[in-house]
A = this chain, B = another copy of it.
Amino acid sequence: MEYRFARRMGCLPPSFLGELFRVSSQPGIISFAGGLPSSGLIDAEGLSLATSQVIEEEGRMPFQYSTTDGYLPLREYIADRYRRRLGIPAEADEIQIVNGSQQCLDLVAKILLDPGDHLGMERPGYLGAIEAFSLYEPVIHAVPLNDDGPDLERFADLVHQHPLRFFYGIPNSQNPSGRTYSESSRKAVGEILEGTGTLFYEDDAFGELFFDGRPRLPVKRFLPEQGIMSGSFSKIVAPGMRTGWIFATRPVLEEFNIAKQAADLHSNFFCQVVLHRYLTTTDLDSHVKAVSRVYGERCRLMCELLDDLMPPGMTHTTPEGGMFLLCTLPPGISSMEVFSEGVKEGVAVLPGVPFYVDGGGEDTIRLNFSNAGEDAIHEGIARLARVMKRLE
């Protein structure tokens, strides 16, 4: 039969990513295209121990239904970590648990956006956010992201021209660019938004992964009431447990809670209890430090190899943390060519196009440096260099 789907399903940008990930997961291909943390750095032993302890001590409790806002001890842990690590006031009742920070994207859009509402984001911007937001049929405006943060003039113009419901940004080691807002850029963003009706939605998936171990203060510090933050255990503990959170004011969380309850009642409770046990019996700081150190080494190696092996005219960002960097290709070379020739050579990259919500980006590729080990990075970038030579 002919099915008729909702109008919103036609609002998504056409995606070639499924096909691309299928191709790039073929055996023998070194993939920098994905976005996986390093499997080898997941503390399976610690999680296993926490799981056994929970099962032994908590009995059936973690297997029963629970509350929509999430396991209170876990929310207290998160609030406490904000206070200790970033020195910002945070209380457990300003935190709600979600299925990884992707669910925040969906639910924040759901409670804030009517069709035709305006929102802003960075250019390039996170693809998962573009997909989640697009299903609520907004008008998306993109502000160029410079090395130290969004283009402030364009940002201010946008905020004054349109009644943006919110601006979505990733100030720490942005996906896909790897860029981090400077301290002064954070302050300026806060000043531009203060007193407007525009919320700042700050996706902090990578804030714990700075290679220098130094935390950066969130924009929310300058905009306590207008700030919504999301965080996740996916990059610092384990993505397969799909546990993240939102940190926002109580009036925002009241609506968010209603949307979360309608969406899936509550997040996986068993994993919330296991995670809490893990977090309170392990030294998370040391673990995060170790992960960040490895990612820093892999990032530096990749940057050096790019500098050494790529043709002149090819540039790349130099991340201070996170999992990704963005390359700009020499004039006349398209990212789709690099992708298809790369696959033949045994290396997969991610063409930047889908990160540009208003078109463009054909001359960019995103490289992931967290998942492949140093040998694979050596070999993969060498393969990429051969591809670039061929295409020149």
Residues of A at under 8 Å CB distance from B? 1, 3-9, 12, 35-37, 39-40, 42, 44, 47-48, 51-52, 55-56, 59-66, 98-100, 102-103, 105-106, 110-115, 117, 128, 131-132, 134-136, 165, 197, 199, 225-226, 234, 238-242, 251-252, 255, 258-259, 261-271
The dominant DSSP class at the A interface is: helix
* Closest partner residue, chain B, to A106 (CB atom): B263
CA distance A71 to B184 in the complex (A): 45
CB < 8 Å neighbour of A242 from B4, B110, B240, B265: B265
Choose among A65, A165, A199, A271 the residue with the greatest number of B CB atoms under 10 Å from its CB. Answer: A65
* Closest partner residue, chain B, to A197 (CB atom): B4
Are A242 and B264 in contact (CB-based, < 8 A)?
A: yes
Q: How many identical chains are in the complex?
A: 2
* B residues in contact with A111, CB < 8 Å: 5-6, 9
* B residues in contact with A238, CB < 8 Å: 63-64, 270
**A5-B111, A102-B263, A226-B1 as given contacts; A12 in contact with B258, CB under 8 Å:** yes
Are A268 and B251 in contact (CB-based, < 8 A)?
A: no
Are B44 and A55 in contact (CB-based, < 8 A)?
A: yes
**A114-B7, A238-B64 as given contacts; A103 in contact with B39, CB under 8 Å:** no
**A110-B6, A268-B99 as given contacts; A64 in contact with B263, CB under 8 Å:** no
A264 to chain B, nearest CB (A): 4
A163 to chain B, nearest CB (A): 9
**A65-B240, A131-B262, A240-B66 as given contacts; A267 in contact with B99, CB under 8 Å:** yes
CA distance A264 to B264 in the complex (A): 11
CB < 8 Å neighbour of A8 from B62, B110, B165, B242: B110
* B residues in contact with A55, CB < 8 Å: 44, 47-48, 51
CA distance A7 to B238 in the complex (A): 36
Are B7 and A103 in contact (CB-based, < 8 A)?
A: no
* B residues in contact with A39, CB < 8 Å: 60-61, 63-64
28 contacts between A and B (CB under 8 A): A1-B226, A3-B252, A4-B197, A7-B114, A8-B110, A9-B111, A9-B255, A37-B64, A39-B60, A39-B61, A39-B63, A42-B64, A44-B60, A48-B55, A63-B239, A65-B239, A99-B99, A99-B267, A99-B268, A102-B262, A102-B263, A102-B264, A106-B262, A131-B258, A135-B262, A242-B267, A242-B268, A263-B263
Are A60 and B36 in contact (CB-based, < 8 A)?
A: no
